[in-house]
Structure 1
Amino acid sequence: MALPDVRGRLTKGAPLAPLVWFKAGGAAQWLFEPKDADDLSAFLRGLDPEMPVMALGLGSNLIVRDGGVPGIVVRLGKAFAQVDRVDATTLRCGGGASGILVSSTARDAGIGGVEFLRSIPGTVGGFVRMNGGAYGREVRDVLVACDVVLRSGERRTLDVADLGYTYRHSALPPGAVVIAATFRGHAADPAAIGAEMDRIAAEREASQPLRSKTGGSTFKNPDGHKAWALIDAAGCRGLTRGDAQVSEKHCNFLLNLGTATAADIEALGEEVRDKVKAQSGVTLEWEIQRVGVPA
C-alpha cells in the first residue's frame, strides 16, 4: 500500500520496545514522526481510511503486545514539545511536552495548580486523552481546550466540555492525535509551587518503583477502593510470571525484571485480576493501555 509523502520521518517495522517503559513488545508496522502539525494533517488526510492510527507519547502507560502494532504509530517529537506562557495564569503546551516540563514552566511563571502534572509520567497528548491525574487533581481541572488532528486529517480545537471526561477516560475518537493543549492555573509564589513539586517527587520516589522497567499504575481505583490494597489483600505482592513481577514496593505496579515479554506482563495482570475477583468480588479495570496483536 502506497503511503503519502512526508516531510518528517517514516520508518517501516520500527521496534517499539525501546520507546516504552516496559522495554518489551513488538514493532510498529510504520512509525511516523511528523515534522510539524501540517505534516501530520496532510499525511492523515492522504492515508487510506482503513489504515489504523495510534499516537505514542513516552510509552509509560502502555503494553505493546509482542506481535506489534498494525498500521501507523505517530510519535510527536521536539517540534511538539514547546511550553509557552500565554498570560499570568495560562500555558500553551505542545502535545509532545512532558508533565515535568509543563509543571516546571508553570513554576517559573508563578502559575499554581498544575503541580500534579509533575507526577504523571507522560506527555500532554497522552494525559489529555486519558484525563491523567494524581494527588487529588485531574487534567479536566486545569484544561481549557486542546488542538487535535482527527483521523481524517482535519484539525480541530475542542473545549474541555467537548471531551466527555470521566475517570481516566475521554471521548476523543480513535486515531485522533492531541497536538497541543491550553492549561489554566492560578497565580502563586514560585517557591511554594516548587516546594509542592518537590514534595510530590519525594513521595513518589518513596512509594513507587520509579527506577524499574514498569508501566505506572496498572489498574484503575474501583469506587470505594484502592487497587493496590485489593491486590495486596489477594496475596499478589511479589507474584511473578516469567520475568514479570507484581512490585513488592507498590503492588499496583507491574515490573519487567529483565526479559519479560509483553505476554508475560499482560498475563500476570490478568492473573492479578482473577485473584482479586476471587478474594474480594471486585473486578479491576486496566488503566494501562494494551495495544497491538499477540505474537
Structure 2
Amino acid sequence: MSFPDLLATLGDWLAGVRGKLTANQPLAAVTWLRVGGPAQLLFQPADEDDLALFLAALPEEIPVLPIGLGSNLLVRDGGIEGVVVRLTGKGFGTVEVLDGARLRIGAAVPDKRVAEAAAEAGIGGFSFYAGIPGALGGALRMNAGAHGTETCQRLVELAALDRRGNRIVLSNADMGYSYRHSAVPADLIFTGAVLAGTPQAEVEIRAEMAEVAAHRERAQPIREKTGGSTFKNPPGTSAWKEIDAAGCRGLQIGGARMSDMHCNFMINTGDATAFDLELLGETVRRRVRAHSGICLEWEIKRLGRFLPGQGVTPFLD
C-alpha cells in the first residue's frame, strides 16, 4: 500500500529544508517488531532549526507524528498518513555534562548511552536506563522506568517544538507525569532535556549497570524481534503474572507469539504482520479480563491504518 506523494504538493519552500525527505518510506525496518506499512512522508531533520523551519511552513492540516528508535512501537500494516518525523543522532544526539550533577541530552540519544554518559561523568541515578530500549525522547514521552526509578525522577526541564515550529521549554511539573504516561500534547516534538542525578563513584555506577544488564539477559527475550513490555503493570500486580495465570504464555496467532521466557513480551517469530501482533494483544486482554477481571492497558503504541478489510476491535475499550 502507498499514499499520494506529499512531496509533489508541498511547494518551493522545501528547497530550504536541509534534512532528508522520503515519500512512502517503509517503517518496518526502523521498528523493533519489524512490521508495518510506510510513512506517507518521512522527515529526518538536520537539526532543531531545520525541524522548526519545516514545521512552520508545513500546511497545518497535514498531521505530524514523531517517532524514536521504534522500540515500543507497532506500526499498522496500512502505514501512517501525513509526516513522520524521526530525529537522527547527528542532529539530536549530543550529551553535555553540566554543573550540579546534571546532563543536557539530545532526544535521539539511546537510553543506554544516557546511562553510559552519566557513569563517565560520575553522576548516579541513571543506571536504570541501561536496561531500557529506545531513545531519550520516547523515555520522556512515556515516563520510562525500571528497577524502581522513573524518568520523572530525573527530569529538570525539556525542550520541544510545537506543531507550528515554536520552541518551548517545559518543566517537570508541566509534563503531567504518571505511571508510563505524560499529559503533554501528542504533537509536541521533544528535542532534548536537562536531567539531574547525584554524585557517585563511577565504579559503583558501573556495578549497578552490570546488574541491570544481567537481569535483562536473564529475564527478557532480548534476542527476539520484540517491542519490550506489551502491557502496563496493573495496580497491585504484574502484567506477566496475569497473562500467565490466564494461560497466555506462548499463545500464538500467525507469526505473533507471547514469549515463553517473559510472557509480557510479544515477539515476531519471523513472519508476523502488525495485524497478527495487535490481534494477539487484544486476545490476551480479553482472556485476562475473563480470568481475573483485570483490564490490561497497552504499553506498546499502536499507530497508523489497517489495510483495507482488516481491523482489530479492542475487546475492552
**TM-score in same-fold range (> 0.5):** yes
Task: Show the counterpart of 2:20.
Answer: 9
Identify the match of residue 83 of structure 2 among 69, 72, 76: 72
Extract structure 1 runs of 4+ deviating beyond 3 A.
none
Distance in 1 separating the partners of 2:232 and 2:209: 24
Q: Which amino acid aligns with 1:148?
A: A
Task: Show the counterpart of 1:110.
Answer: 122
Deviates more, 1:115-124 or 1:202-211: 115-124
| Structure 2 length-normalised TM | 0.92
Task: List gaps (5 residues or longer) in structure 1.
Answer: none
Q: Which amino acid aligns with 2:40?
A: Q
Identify the match of residue 163 of structure 1 among 159, 175, 178: 175
Q: How does 1:38-49 map to 2 (within 5 A)?
A: 38-49=49-60
Deviations 1:153-176 (A, max 9, x none): 111010111000011111121211
Q: Match of 1:165, SS?
A: coil
Distance in 1 separating the partners of 2:163 and 2:173: 21
CA contact (8 A) 1:83 1:94 kept: yes
Q: Match of 2:97, SS?
A: strand
Distance in 2 separating the partners of 1:265 and 1:212: 14
Distance in 2 separating the partners of 1:136 and 1:82: 27
CA contact (8 A) 2:100 2:196 kept: no
Q: Which amino acid aligns with 1:253?
A: F
CA RMSD of aligned residues (A): 0.8
CA contact (8 A) 1:219 1:286 kept: yes
Q: How does 1:202-281 map to 2 (within 5 A)?
A: 202-281=214-293
1:179 paired to 2:191: yes
Q: How does 1:84-163 map to 2 (within 5 A)?
A: 84-163=96-175
CA contact (8 A) 1:88 1:109 kept: no
Distance in 2 separating the partners of 1:169 and 1:237: 26
Shift of 1:57: 0.8
Q: Match of 1:282, SS?
A: coil
Q: Match of 2:191, SS?
A: strand
Shift of 1:90: 0.4
Distance in 1 separating the partners of 2:183 and 2:198: 27
Q: Match of 1:60, SS?
A: coil
Q: Which amino acid aligns with 1:255?
A: I
Q: Which amino acid aligns with 2:108?
A: G
Task: Show the counterpart of 1:59.
Answer: 70
Distance in 2 separating the partners of 1:171 and 1:153: 20
Q: Which amino acid aligns with 1:53?
A: V
CA contact (8 A) 1:83 1:101 kept: no
| Structure 1 length-normalised TM | 0.99
CA contact (8 A) 1:88 1:111 kept: no
Identify the match of residue 36 of structure 1 among 34, 44, 47: 47
Shift of 1:145: 0.5
Shift of 1:88: 4.5
Task: Show the counterpart of 2:3.
Answer: none
Task: List gaps (5 residues or longer) in structure 2.
Answer: 1-8, 308-317
Shift of 1:86: 1.0
CA contact (8 A) 1:81 1:95 kept: yes
